Amino acid sequence: MTQLPAYEQLPVAQGVASQKKALQAAGLVLVAGLLLTALLSWNVWRNARTALEQQFALAANERIDRVRERLSMQQSELESIQRFFENSEQVSREEFEHFVSPLLGDTLGYAWLPRVEQRNRAAFEAGAHAAGMLDFMIFELTLQGQPIPAQQREQYFPILYGASEYLEEMPLGMDLNSTLPGRDLAQRVVRGRTVEASMPVILPGAPPADSTGVLLAAPLYRTSATVSPTAETRVGVQGILLAAISYRLLIEQGADGHTEQLALTMRDANDPRPDVPLYRSPVTPDATAELVSERHLSFAGRDYLVRVEPSSDFLRRNQGHPQLWMIFAGGLTSVLLAGYVLTLLGQRQRALQLVAERTAELRANQLELQENQARLHFAMDSAGHGVWDWSLDTGNVFYSHAWKAMLGYRDSEVGATTEESTSRVHPDDQAARCEAMRRHLRGESTLYQSEHRLRCKSGRWLWVLDRGQVVERDHDGSARRMIGTQTDISSRKAAELELGEVNSRLHGLLDAATQVAIVSTDLRGFVRSFNVGAERMFGYSAQEVIGRPVPENVFVKDEIRRRAHDLSSVLGRDIRGFEVVGALVGEGHEEHEWTCVRRDGRQLKINLIITGVRDSTGNTTGYLGVATDITRRKEAELELRRLSVTDALTGIHNRRYFKEQLDQAMARCARSGEPLSLVMFDIDHFKDINDRYGHEAGDTVLVTLCQRIAQRLRKVDVFCRLGGEELVVLCPGSTVEQAWQLAEALWQALRGQPMDGVGVVTASFGVASWCPGESADDLMRKVDRAVYRAKRLGRDRLERVEA
């Protein structure tokens, strides 16, 4: 291994001391930055907390003010009803309901409770009965909630009528004095002559969610007020107007989306139980926020305490965390600043170390370069590559030992001029070599390369690959030095010449097969060879297709899709594109008939045999296809098939074709369950027509009759001549009724159209339908019996055999 020379290094103690000072300074900067970041983060957090408290206070006040407004609105609405009664001599049930109906949106209901003295109780109940309230009575509720006649009292305040959109049934006749909250409310209303609210009550008949609420009452006086409140109480009060209010409806009705972010609780301020609220919103408060807003609300003599707390949703929407961003930004800035200080303080030390490292690397690279040059010369000589080094300024050329030995010379037998190489070049190769050299010297090519022959010492010609490159140019771009190699390629050239001769013979054989199309492709479908037979068969020239994919319009696309579908089903994978042609080649070959389209648009049938082309390792590299034109053979087969199933006289199908189609139709109907019917008919007195008018007239009758019948049939119907004058129509998918209608139409068509020279020709029709389990012979016998019955009953008629 090469030993590098020693070089000076920084004193170890000096380097360590400089590093400690740099670390200390960077640490101080980092600590100061973190302290400043903490101070700023605390200040930002305090400002954010203040903003959150202000936002909560604003939202809570708006929420509480809305509750206060709702309470005031309830009292105002009841007072408006009170004024309506005071300004009316008498208010009927209909007038009451009409007046209060616009006010029922957020109130459970309103009711009118007249004052009834004990002595007038019976008359009052009788008057209610006369007004149509047959079941009316002044009642009170038992502990089980059952109505019973009210106990005797000095006076009653029963519900005479009311209006509600929420209560299923208004408790008409229920005495307000029958319950403790009602009695207390009635006394306060009559004594104070103002609107009063009851203690929290359970409202009977209300939905479970709205059963907890309060009764709001207003007295009605129709006489002028007296000086003594006691006298006014005894004489002037006419009754009480009552409003049933649900706490839930009062607070939640008409609430907007912002209220869902605040948790609201309302309780009676005089109730010593803080955990028994009158109303609690469904929003869950977030106790971690430590934000609470409370306020006392006075409502008709009652004092309510409303408490508002924020929810998690409110905190998420209004509480940001700017202090986190401040901590992140400040911490990152402190770290970057400390790193920058550390970088500045350690720059001199790193610069000195870098200089020392680069010096050592340069010395090491110099020694490695010398060793690599030695290895390169050894490798070039060992591999048989001759090296030449041409100095264009002096004209001298260095020829390596391997270059001289390749031509059979010793080192002392070859000079150092360009003539040593140029004079040995074959005359036929001189021009191409000189042109390649000139193009490279002018800068038109990045590498000089030439294959030419050199004359050896023995006189034989040696093929060499000469390559080189300009490695030095002057300021105006002119070449000053060029280095290159020469390699013996005689064996490769001999192999190429032999391969060329083999290819020429192979192409000759392929082009000689003019009646057979031979095409080779790679695995992607790109054409490699295209013989004369392929040009004649498909109409394309070899220059048009070689190196390009097989033309898309050569094969019929419908056949390609069907073949791809069939192969995908067989192989269990998706077959696409050119893979359709060679998917089944495997280790052997695949033979298939295709419909191809020539360049001029004419279609032809071919028989294509595909064989895989493999390399030396056995891997498939392409396909070889051999195609023969079978168009005429296929046309002949089709014509023979047509003649074998067609009646020569009438042009319709014959008995053989009818038997094939009947068997297929019966098999299809057996699988699907669809119906199948036959219509058979025999021309009446056909022998008399032949005897009277001649056989040519009889043939004309048959041809004309078949033409008329064929025009009235469906495409799926099969019309055949069984023999003589016996004809049949196969009707797949038709019931016996449908076939009967068809036979009737054909019968009418024959009778209504005379034939030239003969007159009206009639026929006897038979109709039968196939039943599951029957054979073709069974069905034919059935329809034949129907025709025989028609002929026996007088001809020119229709008969059918029921299933």
Taking residues 103-110, report their average pLDDT: 85
Q: CB under 8 Å to 380, separation ≥6 — which residues?
A: 386, 387, 400, 402, 485
Q: What is the pLDDT of residue 257?
A: 54
Per-residue pLDDT reduced to its tens digit, 34-91: 898 888 888 888 888 888 888 888 888 988 888 898 889 988 988 998 898 888 888 8
Query: In angstroms, rounded to a whole number, what is the distance separating the alpha carbons of residues 519 and 626?
Result: 7
Q: CA of 505: how far to CAs of 295, 485, 491, 702, 703, in Å? A: 112, 36, 22, 66, 63
Phi, psi of 738 (to 5 degrees): -65, -40
Q: What is the pLDDT of residue 675?
A: 92
Strand-strand pairing, 461-473 and 479-488: antiparallel
- Picking from 240-249, 327-336, 473-482, 587-596, which range would have the lowest pLDDT averaged per residue? 587-596
- At residue 16 the predicted structure's pLDDT band, cuts being 50, 70 and 90, is low
SS3 label, residue 476: coil
Whether the pLDDT of residue 310 is over 60: the answer is yes
Taking residues 697-708, report their average pLDDT: 87
Mean pLDDT (the chain, rounded): 82
Highest mean pLDDT among 249-253, 305-309, 560-564, 798-802: 305-309
Whether the pLDDT of residue 3 is over 50: the answer is no
Q: CA of 108: how far to CAs of 218, 246, 401, in Å? A: 16, 6, 119
For residues 441 and 468, the answer to whether their CB atoms sit within 8 Å is no
Q: What is the pLDDT of residue 552?
A: 62
Amino acid in the structure at residue 792: R
Whether the pLDDT of residue 158 is over 90: the answer is yes
Phi, psi of 372 (to 5 degrees): -65, -40
Q: CB under 8 Å to 489, separation ≥6 — which residues?
A: 451, 463, 464, 465
Greater model confidence, 304 or 349: 304
- Name the strands in the sheet holding 726-732, side by side, starting at the edge strand that comes first in the sequence: 718-723, 726-732, 676-683, 763-769, 798-801
Query: In angstroms, rounded to a whole number, what is the distance separating the alpha carbons of residues 248 and 212?
Result: 8
Greater model confidence, 767 or 607: 767
Whether the pLDDT of residue 757 is over 50: the answer is yes
Per-residue pLDDT reduced to its tens digit, 423-436: 889 999 889 989 98
Q: Helices 322-345 and 347-383 sit at what angle, rounded to 10 degrees?
A: 70
Per-residue pLDDT reduced to its tens digit, 414-467: 888 888 888 889 999 889 989 988 898 888 888 899 898 999 988 889 898 999
- At residue 7 the predicted structure's pLDDT band, cuts being 50, 70 and 90, is very low
Tokens found for residue 301: 């003599």
Per-residue pLDDT reduced to its tens digit, 532-591: 888 888 888 878 888 887 766 677 777 778 777 777 887 788 877 677 777 667 656 777
Per-residue pLDDT reduced to its tens digit, 108-120: 899 999 999 999 9
Q: What is the pLDDT of residue 111?
A: 92
Q: By percentage, how much of the chain surpasses pLDDT 90?
A: 10
Query: In angstroms, rounded to a whole number, what is the distance separating the alpha carbons of residues 202 and 247?
Result: 11
- Picking from 230-234, 284-288, 620-624, 764-768, which range would have the lowest pLDDT averaged per residue? 230-234
Q: What is the pLDDT of residue 256?
A: 60
